[in-house]
């Protein structure tokens, strides 16, 4: 079965620090990859996605992620975080042959200190 | 706001009871997926409905069942509730049951179920 691992469950950064959240998945075939974000008191929303093409994907609010197929990774990055980036971040994978379901990681809670 | 609404937002049940959770999808969306999110974990796929038919199911027992109506709204039913069913139940809608749009999920805020 597919699985998604997120390296850190809690991350604390100061404003303007750089962010990298790790994500690895276990499936060896064709995958579609996603990062979702949940701000405090809000619903889950899509941050960015990779289906095909350029492995460096840019999303909303200055976030980007790089798909490295050889490492089965899809790490999320932001050069300079803001206090408003405080949220929980979920990496997810979809494998077409296993149906239209997303398999989520356990999430990383990011707290940005002002 | 995503346009996906869920009800109720919170509810408390006891073991053995049955519960029905409801979801109204975003306008124009014909696919609804249900996820269970236990405390400290990521959402887990329960099942998906596309044009009123089940279109994929996760590793959940048959006491988890669902419906989709002609207006694309959906229900999740759980029978014989167990303590481990306590979780946030998320509904997500999308514009197609196929792979291209399936990743563009628009989530509701969830129904938090507590089983005592």
A8-33 residue pLDDT tens: 899 999 999 999 999 999 987 788 89
pLDDT at B107 over 70: yes
CB A76 within 8 A of CB A28: no
Residue A29, chain B, CB below 8 Å: the answer is no
Average pLDDT for B78-97: 92
SS3 content of chain B, % helix, strand, coil (to 5): 5, 50, 45
pLDDT at B110 over 60: yes
Residue A77, chain B, CB below 8 Å: the answer is no
The pLDDT score that the predictor gives to residue A78 is 98
Q: What percent of chain A has pLDDT over 70?
A: 95
3 state DSSP class of B100 = helix
Residues of A in contact with B32 (CB under 8 A): none
The pLDDT score that the predictor gives to residue A25 is 94
3 state DSSP class of B29 = coil
pLDDT at B1 over 80: no
pLDDT for A55-94, tens place per residue? 999 999 999 999 999 999 999 999 999 999 999 999 999 8
pLDDT at B45 over 90: yes
Smallest CA–CA distance, residue B16 to chain A, in Å, is 28
| A49 with B58: Cβ contact below 8 A | no
Residue A95, chain B, CB below 8 Å: the answer is no
Q: Which residue of A has its CA nearest to B109?
A: A43
Residues of A in contact with B107 (CB under 8 A): 43-45
pLDDT at A44 over 60: yes
Q: Which residue of B has its CA nearest to A97?
A: B99
């Amino acid at each position: 079965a597919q699985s998604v691992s997120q390296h850190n469950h809690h991350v604390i950064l100061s404003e303007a620090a750089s962010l990298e959240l790790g994500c690895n998945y276990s499936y060896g075939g064709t995958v579609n990859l996603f990062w979702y974000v949940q701000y405090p008191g809000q619903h889950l929303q899509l941050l960015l996605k990779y289906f095909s093409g350029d492995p460096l994907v840019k999303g909303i609010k200055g976030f980007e992620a790089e798909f490295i197929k050889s490492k089965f990774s899809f790490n999320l990055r932001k050069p300079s975080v803001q206090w408003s980036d405080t949220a929980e971040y979920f990496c997810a994978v979809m494998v077409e042959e296993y149906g239209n379901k997303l398999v989520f990681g356990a999430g990383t809670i990011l707290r940005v200190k002002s | 706001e995503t346009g996906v609404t869920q009800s109720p937002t919170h509810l408390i049940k006891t073991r053995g009871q049955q519960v029905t959770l409801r979801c109204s999808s975003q306008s124009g969306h014909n696919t609804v997926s249900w996820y269970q999110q236990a405390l400290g974990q990521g959402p887990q796929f329960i099942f998906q409905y596309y044009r009123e038919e089940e279109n994929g199911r996760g590793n959940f027992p048959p006491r988890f069942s669902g419906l989709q109506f002609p207006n694309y709204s959906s229900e999740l039913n759980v029978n014989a509730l167990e303590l481990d069913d306590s979780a946030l139940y998320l509904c997500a809608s999308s514009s197609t049951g196929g792979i291209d749009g399936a990743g563009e999920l628009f989530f509701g805020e969830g129904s938090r179920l507590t089983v005592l």
